[in-house]
Amino acid sequence: MPNPEAPALLTHDWSMGYPMTLRSVRLTRLHVRRRLTMWQWAGDIDNAVLVASELVANAVRHARVIGHELWLRLAELEDGGLIVEVSDPVRVFPRMDVALDGEGGRGLLVVTQLADDLVWFLRPEVGKTVRARLALPQSRTSGT
């Protein structure tokens, strides 16, 4: 998949590296909630926290490579939307197969329900980035 162009107009931009362990999922939740609260982001912070933590959990479970870490990036767009990116060292996108009686595999389905857009692209140096875009609810952007 080609690298989609990131929107040029950002009002906030933040990124951080995390070890490829399940403890990073909890840290992600804390950091995303704190960052979006500090930015006074007008969107649904709970949804953004869930999207970020699911993407990080997928990276930890499916892309763990010794000596590498994952990267989380948040970018608030000029229109108030939010980009959540998670980069990992593996060049394969996880499948969205869900067994109805299984525990795993639902994370990306949750992300596709909450995000307005979900794409992934290979990074030139190593691995891939998964990008989710969350828009503001129409009632907030239209003033109603």
pTM: 0.85
22-26, 107-111, 139-143: least confidently modelled range: 139-143
CA 6 to chain centre: 14
CA–CA separation, 114 vs 91, rounded Å?
Answer: 24
Q: Which helix (H) or strand (E) holds 131?
A: strand 128-134
b/e for 55-64, b at 16 or more Cβ within 10 A?
bbbbbbeebb
Sheet of 117-122, strands arranged across: 10-18, 70-77, 82-88, 128-134, 117-122
Give the chain's largest Cα–Cα span.
50
**Top-confidence residue, 6 or 30:** 30
- Say if residue 140's pLDDT is above 60: no
48 Cβ contact partners less than 8 Å away, ≥ 6 residues apart: 32, 36, 41, 74, 82, 84, 134
